Amino acid sequence: MTWKRPVLAVCLCLAASQAGADVVHLRSGGKVEGAVVSRTASELVVQTPAGKVTLKAADVVRIEAKASPLDVYREMAAKVKEDDADGRYALGLWCQDQKLFREGRGEFEKAIALDPNHKGARARLGYVQRDGKWLTEAEAKKADGLVRVGERWVTEEERLRGEQREAVAAWARRFRQLAAKKPTGEQAVADRILDAIGDRPRDLPTAALRIVLEETIKEAIEASRDRTAEARLALVRLLADQRGGDAADILRKAAVRDIDARVRAAAIKALAAQKDVENTAYFTGLLHRFTSARVRLQSDKAGRATARRVLRRASEALAGLGDARAVPALASALTVRFQIREKGDELPPLSINFSTNSLVDMAVVTDGMGNQIAVPITESSNWGLDPNLEREVEDPFFFNDAAYNALRTLTSQDFSHEKRAWLAWWYRNRHNLED
Tell whether 241 and 382 lie within a shared domain. Answer: no
Residue after which a domain boundary falls, among 253, 274, 295: 274
Q: Which of 395, 299, 415 is nearest to 352 (CA)?
A: 395
Do 210 and 108 fall within a single domain?
A: no
The verdict on residue 141 lying in a domain is no
Type of residue found at 349: P
b/e per residue 35-46 (b: at least 16 CB within 10 A) = ebeeeeeeebeb
- Residue 435 is predicted with a pLDDT of 54
The Cα diameter of the chain in Å comes to 113
> Considering only CA atoms, which of 421, 415, 373 is closest in space to residue 397?
373
The C-alpha R_g of the chain, in whole angstroms, comes to 39
Q: Which pLDDT does position 344 carry in this prediction? A: 52
Sign of CA dihedral 311, 316, 320, 322: positive
> What does the alpha-carbon distance between residue 383 and residue 367 come to, in Å, rounded to a whole number?
13
* Number of domains present in the structure of the chain: 3
Q: Which domain holds residue 114?
A: 4-134
Distance between CA 387 and CA 215 in Å, rounded? 33
Is 239 contained in some domain?
yes
Please tell me the distance from the alpha carbon of residue 25 to that of residue 32, in angstroms, as a whole number: 7
Rounded-to-integer distance, Cα 97 and Cα 214, Å: 53
Residues 85 and 227 in one domain: no
Q: E strands within 58-190? A: 60-64, 128-130, 133-135, 146-149, 152-155
8 A C-beta contact, residue 425 and residue 411: yes
Whether residue 311 is found in the same domain as residue 208: no
Encoded amino acid at 393, one letter: V
Q: Is the same domain home to 424 and 294? A: yes
Q: Are 383 and 390 in contact (CB under 8 A)?
A: no
Residues 364 and 422 in one domain: yes
Nearest to 77 by CA among 97, 49, 107, 99: 107
Predicted local distance difference test score (pLDDT) of residue 297: 87
Res 340: pLDDT? 83
Reported pTM: 0.62
Same domain assignment for residues 55 and 118: yes
DSSP 27: T
Give the DSSP letter string of 289-337. Answer: HTTSHHHHHH--HHHHHHHHHHHHHHHHHHHHHT-GGGHHHHHHTSEEE
Last residue of a domain, one of 274, 302, 317: 274
**pLDDT score of 331:** 94
Do 380 and 266 share a structural domain? Answer: no
Residue 353 resides in a domain: no
Question: CA-CA distance, 376 to 373, in Å (whole number)?
Answer: 10
CB atoms within 10 A of CB 358: 6
Residue 143 lies in a domain: no
Cα 270 to Cα 255: distance, rounded to the nearest angstrom: 10
Whether residue 157 is found in the same domain as residue 286: no
Q: Please check whether residue 423 lies inside any domain of the structure.
A: yes
- 415 and 305 housed in the same domain: yes
Do residues 336 and 323 share a domain?
A: yes
Residues 241, 259: one domain? yes
Residue 13's pLDDT is 46
Contact yes or no for 266/236 (Cβ under 8 A): yes
* Entry field: residues in the chain: 435
Which of 274, 298, 327 is the endpoint of a domain?
274
d(CA 296, CA 344): 18
Terminal-residue alpha carbon distance, the chain:
79
Is 373 a member of any domain? yes
Q: What is the CATH number for 125? A: 2.30.30.100
Amino acid letter, residue 416: S
Q: What is the mean pLDDT of each run of 10 residues along the chain (435 residues)?
A: 43 43 86 82 82 88 81 87 91 90 92 92 89 86 85 87 92 93 92 92 91 94 90 94 81 94 95 92 94 89 91 96 94 91 52 36 50 47 38 76 95 91 90 69
